[in-house]
A and B are shown apart, each in its own frame.
Chain A
Amino acid sequence: MGADTIWIIGSNMTRFGKHPDKDVVDLAAEASREALKDAGISLSEVGVLGVGNLMNAGAGIGQQLQKQIGQTGIPVFNVSNACATGATALRVAVMAVKAGETDVGMAVGVEKLAGAGLLGQRGPKPESETWQPSGRVGALSSTEGRIGTSIMPGVFAQVGMEYGHKYGGTSFELFAKISEKNHSHSTLNPLAAYQKRFTLEEIMNDVMIAYPNTRPMCSGNCDGAAAMIVVSDEKMKSMSLEVQKRAVKISASVLTSDPYVDGCQILPDVNTLTRNAAAQAYEQAGIGPEDLDLVELHDCFATAELVHYDNLMLCEEGGAVDFFESGAPWRDGAKPVNVSGGLQSKGHPIAATGIANIHEIVMHLRGEAGDRQIEGARVGLAHVIGLGSACGVHILEKVA
């Protein structure tokens, strides 16, 4: 017997930032135990565990976590799906509950990245005496720099620039203003890795990483974990009124990969799979973008945030620049985006991100977001994208 409606009854994220005194399992344990406490249930009731971690994908972090917080013998799914790893772990828990395999699922995303430097960079191959072709294009050495770039800041810079070529209206200053917004939002989020407000001039005059993205326009590598408890409708109704009052409905849970389009193997297409995921999510939830009270989207770089306004259909096709310039995505605007501070200031511990952005929505829908509360928020959307690519979109609603 499957469950039609899935509820989040417990949710937690650790502070994002540097945790030199904690290892990956410590962080995962902290978020998991707090999420269980938040839900008011025991680990013994959890029937499935989805655990996301990218940097130690082969290490069985799920079982390592169980060794520290409780070995109950339940199935563990260790998942790795680039920056969508956390959302994938949650999808596993949601699917298991939906399929009727269990009434209670737990999802955890955890990463330690502080000081990891730029991702996607490959070191030079060992020097050989003679040219040796290798790989799928028979390259004689690393293609990085020789044939453009595959490093994240450069790839996502090109994603934003491509949007500018297609629709016009973009500029270095525009992208920097998006970053100014998110850093401003972060000052209200005590769990953010960076809570510093930057002026537009400071952002534009900071170290250039990959034009048009300067350092504050890039997501910060840091440590962190997030965890969530999901239950079936039947289970939710069996719980205390206090739990029921704080429960948040998952109205849509969608994961997509990138379908083939012309040129997608040259510059990764982060647009089509996001648009597809959004369309499926709106249909599942039976609501439209106009109904959203807030959005957490994957601003791994300032250039990426712009294209996702369009991909998530927060504006007309081609209208992302006008949407931003209208002031809509500021926290006091018509469609607040990344009121957590986004990845640029909240930080981006990769596998934790896809659960942490949902946690942010949960906090607002419960009315527990403190100083940064979006008043009266009842519907929110969380989006992540991992290059390669994978996209997760979740729509949450406050029903009770």
Chain B
Amino acid sequence: MSEAQEKQTTETSKKIPFVDYLILDDPPYLQAQECTSCDARYFDRRNACASCFEDQFRPVAIDREGIVTSFSIVQMGPIPYVSAVVDCGGTSVKCTIMNVEPSPEHVNLGMEVKLMTYSMGQDSEGTEAIAFGFEPI
């Protein structure tokens, strides 16, 4: 368990985020690592900045609302879902669009969406995992 998740587990009584960059605050938000030298933003564990090669980063909170700049309705499994890229105030976020019918009539480029979270269930120790998605505003 990562340090961030461990901290959140104790603070939120056995709730952990699906990924490190989902911060289970009130309200929850996504947190990027921003390069202190060139402002490039990342969501994964970094060795250095892919843009300027420096290695110092600061955590930044990402806007909780954005617009869909690209999407696909993936229909290869039993349950179709909407994969999308959302522009949250200039930062691109990859996500699944929730609470929308997965059909071209209901999903549009430029659609306004907001961050949401949902439970993925509990493990054998009673720890609840919380995932994120975006939903239409």
Which residues 102-143 of A have a CB within 8 angstroms of B? 118, 121, 128-133, 136-141, 143
Minimal Cβ-Cβ distance residue in B for A162: B70
Q: Are B96 and A147 in contact (CB under 8 A)?
A: yes
A208 to B68 Cα, complex, angstroms: 21
Contact of B93 among A155, A260, A266 (CB under 8 A): A266
Which residues 53-102 of B have a CB within 8 angstroms of A? 68-77, 81, 83-85, 90-96
B74 proximity list for chain A (CB < 8 A): 145, 149, 151, 153-154, 210-211
A158 to B45 Cα, complex, angstroms: 25
Q: A146-B131, A164-B109, A165-B70 are in contact. Are A140 and B18 (CB under 8 A)?
A: yes
Which residues 141-173 of A have a CB within 8 angstroms of B? 141, 143, 145-149, 151, 153-155, 157-159, 161-162, 164-165, 172
Q: A145-B96, A260-B50 are in contact. Are A138 and B5 (CB under 8 A)?
A: yes
Q: How many residues of B contact A (CB 8 A)?
A: 48
Cβ-based interface call for B116 (8 A)? no
Q: Are B96 and A161 in contact (CB under 8 A)?
A: no
Cβ-based interface call for A243 (8 A)? no
Q: A136-B45, A147-B94, A267-B94 are in contact. Are A211 and B120 (CB under 8 A)?
A: no
A136 to B45 Cα, complex, angstroms: 5
B73 proximity list for chain A (CB < 8 A): 208, 210-211
Cβ-based interface call for A285 (8 A)? no
Q: Are B51 and A260 in contact (CB under 8 A)?
A: yes
Contact of B123 among A131, A151, A210 (CB under 8 A): A131
Which residues 177-210 of A have a CB within 8 angstroms of B? 207-210
Q: A129-B124, A136-B45, A137-B45 are in contact. Are A158 and B50 (CB under 8 A)?
A: no
Contact with B along A251-264 (1 / 0, CB 8 A): 00000000010110
The A/B interface has a contact count, at CB < 8 Å, of 139
Q: Are B124 and A130 in contact (CB under 8 A)?
A: yes
Q: Which residues of A are at the interface with B, using a C-beta cutoff of 8 A?
A: 118, 121, 128-133, 136-141, 143, 145-149, 151, 153-155, 157-159, 161-162, 164-165, 172, 207-213, 260, 262-263, 265-267
Could you list 29 A-B pairs, sorted by A, with CB under 8 Å?
A128-B123, A129-B123, A129-B124, A131-B127, A132-B1, A133-B2, A138-B2, A139-B18, A141-B18, A145-B74, A146-B18, A147-B18, A147-B94, A147-B132, A149-B72, A151-B76, A153-B74, A154-B72, A157-B72, A158-B72, A207-B75, A210-B72, A210-B75, A210-B83, A211-B72, A260-B50, A260-B51, A263-B92, A265-B42
Q: Which residues of B are at the interface with A, using a C-beta cutoff of 8 A?
A: 1-2, 4-5, 16, 18-21, 40, 42-45, 50-51, 68-77, 81, 83-85, 90-96, 104, 109-110, 120, 123-125, 127, 129, 131-132
